Amino acid sequence: MSNTTIITGASSGIGKALALELAKRGHNLGLTARRMDRLEALKAEIHAQHPQLLIELRSLDVNQCETIAPSMQALIDQLGTVHTVVVNAGVNALTAVGKGQLAEQLAIVQTNLMGAIATVDAAAEYFRAHKGGHVVGISSLASLTPIPKQAAYCATKSAFSMYMDCAAIELKKHNIHFTKILPGFVKTEIVDNMEQFPFLVSAEQAAREMADHIEKKHAVGVVPGYPWKFIKPLMSSIPTGLWKYMKV
């Protein structure tokens, strides 16, 4: 029986690349995002290559937390059953502390943390009722180290990682597996000038590695594995002065 996977924030970036990669691997898909025109285009692209797959779409703005659970349930009803939910929807922007960008920082918190928590909660409620499932959260290596002009983003990813870790312990007895993905720097439209950051990879490469971690149900997946899995244990002690050389 084919796996059925829901991906939030699937209209662009990592979400779109992951949808295309999982489709190659035979996953039926439930795709959500705010931009339905992009989801429709993605569905057509997938069906052109994999016409046998079931692809269902749902408009969803994770900033509207109260709509997440009913929207997810409606999508699940369309799909029939769901094995995995990928909590991917997120935003980022370079923001400076104390320079009149409080609204932008709080918007990042709303999407990346409040929306992500509400999505995990909705998925967990469904999986508890169905005696098991798999929740995948797209966090970040930025959850492990401070990055200038990324204070809000780092804070949200650190908090989301902790939420995932706590949920994994709490829900293990319900046969609900958790995979926390920690991407490094991935080239997408979410942030401009990504070329200044080290070890940058394409969304397609990131999606391939993420899909491997998802299918193997790894507790933690570092993407790309090389070199970040070797650097990860040291990230909390990286000298902050190094960031000046990347002009961020």
Beta bridge partners of 136: 86, 179
DSSP states of 127-183: HHHTT-EEEEEE--GGGSS--TT-HHHHHHHHHHHHHHHHHHHHHGGGTEEEEEEEE
What is the per-residue pLDDT for 161? 98
What is the per-residue pLDDT for 224? 83
CA distance 179 to 160: 12
As a whole number, mean pLDDT of residues 32-45 equals 97
Cα 149 to Cα 96, 110, 123, 192, distances in angstroms: 5, 18, 32, 13
As a whole number, mean pLDDT of residues 155-169 equals 98
pLDDT band at 164 (very low <50, low <70, confident <90, very high): very high
Give the Cα-Cα-Cα angle 220, 224, 225 (nearest 5 degrees): 60
The pLDDT tens digits for 50-105 are 999 999 999 999 999 999 999 999 999 999 999 999 999 999 998 999 999 999 99
Q: Does domain 4-246 have CATH number 3.40.50.720?
A: yes
What is the per-residue pLDDT for 225? 74
Which sequence positions are flagged as catalytic? 153
Confidence check: pLDDT of 136 > 70: yes
Q: Which residues contact residue 246 at a Cβ distance below 8 angstroms, ignoring those fewer than 6 apart? A: 196, 197, 198
